[in-house]
């Protein structure tokens, strides 16, 4: 009789503080675009399938060795201060993102992720996973704060999925979801999200 490995969940946390007001941070982080992954150097392709005030859904594809892997990311928006990420197809990751105002122009984002692994042997080290996520969110923080200081809008006109006119500032929302270690990540979650979401 064959004994199958039981899936196991890994739990991770991230936090980042922005020098910008809560409403700006929420709008910036949830303005998902197809070119967001460029911020962190990922070659993952993203195609926006749905974008509404309630949710955003996109498909990701990337190479894992010679194989092309595809997955789906769904983010449920809960303005003014939260959003939730779920992934499927290339792994299961769920993310919870919550903002808290720390003053007129300071906001903290707290993130919690649950990643499901096929077996305990594949669970990523908590410290390494969170360190990876911190590196990505440092990039996002710098880009967000630069946009805020320059007076640029937090969201693109009409929430264009392709990005800003003229190709200005590639952006990524909620840590979009992480990919298997063999492929480049878009965010650790946080991505999105991201769970992180690509």
- Residue 3: per-residue pLDDT: 65
Per-residue pLDDT reduced to its tens digit, 62-95: 988 899 999 999 999 999 999 999 999 888 899 9
Token pair for residue 46?
A: 């993203």
Phi, psi of 25 (to 5 degrees): -60, -45
Cα–Cα distances (Å) from 36 to 96, 98, 140, 166, in that order, read 19, 20, 10, 15
- Residue 2: per-residue pLDDT: 64
**What residues does 94 pair with on adjacent strands?**
86, 114
Per-residue pLDDT reduced to its tens digit, 41-67: 888 899 999 999 999 999 999 988 899
Contact 107, 20 (CB under 8 A): yes
pLDDT of 173 strictly over 60? no
Tell me which H or E stretch contains 68. strand 67-78
Q: What is the pTM of this model?
A: 0.79
Residue 177 CA to residue 174 CA, distance in Å, equals 8
- Domains of the chain (ranges; CATH) run 8-167 (3.30.530.20)
pLDDT of 28 strictly over 60? yes
Per-residue pLDDT reduced to its tens digit, 123-162: 999 999 999 999 999 999 999 999 999 999 998 764 544 4
């Amino acid at each position: 009789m064959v004994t199958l490995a039981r899936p196991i969940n890994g739990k991770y946390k991230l936090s980042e503080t922005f020098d910008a007001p809560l409403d700006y941070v929420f709008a910036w982080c949830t303005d998902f675009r197809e070119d967001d992954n460029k911020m962190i150097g990922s070659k993952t392709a993203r195609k926006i399938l749905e974008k509404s005030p309630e949710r955003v859904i996109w498909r990701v594809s990337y190479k894992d060795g010679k194989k092309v892997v595809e997955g789906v990311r769904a983010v449920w928006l809960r303005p003014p201060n939260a959003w939730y990420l779920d992934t499927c197809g290339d792994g299961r990751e769920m993310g919870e993102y919550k903002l808290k105002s720390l003053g007129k122009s300071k906001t903290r984002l707290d993130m919690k992720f649950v990643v499901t692994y096929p077996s305990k042997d594949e669970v990523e080290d908590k410290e390494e996973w969170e360190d990876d996520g911190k590196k990505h969110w440092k990039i996002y923080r710098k880009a967000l704060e630069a946009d805020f200081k320059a007076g640029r809008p937090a969201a693109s006109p009409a929430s264009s999925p392709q990005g800003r006119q003229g190709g200005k500032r590639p952006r990524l929302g909620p840590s979009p979801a992480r990919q298997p270690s063999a492929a480049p990540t878009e965010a650790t979650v946080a991505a999105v999200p991201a769970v992180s979401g690509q």
